[in-house]
Amino acid sequence: MGEDCRGLAGSAALAEAALIAAERHIDEAEPQFARAVAIFHTYKVRWDEAEALCYWGRALQSAGETRRFIASGWFG
């Protein structure tokens, strides 16, 4: 029904992003990571937001794209 239980959709987006990134499709995973972070931010679940940023950073690091994460402006 389009309802979201305090960011549950963020957890689904994060899981999808992690799976896509694990398959080495980082360009496809990034929008899902960003969606997860935005949902967690909206619902003020900061711990989950921070965790999503960590997973996103690790995925980019694994893909050799650490600078792209820094340039994204999501932190710092």
User: For position 38, what pLDDT does the model report?
Assistant: 95
Count up the domains in the chain and report the number: 1
Which residues, given as ranges, of the chain have pLDDT below 70? 1-4, 73-76
Residue 2: inside a domain: no
Task: Look up the pTM and report it.
Answer: 0.84
Residue 51: inside a domain: yes
User: For position 71, what pLDDT does the model report?
Assistant: 75
Report the C-alpha gap between 58 and 61 in whole angstroms.
Answer: 5
Residue 22: inside a domain: yes
Residue 1: inside a domain: no
Residue 49: its H or E element: helix 46-62
Residue 20 is part of which domain span? 8-70
User: For position 66, what pLDDT does the model report?
Assistant: 75
Query: Please, is 71 exposed, middle or buried when counting C-beta atoms within 10 Å of its C-beta (0-12, 13-18, 19+)?
Result: exposed
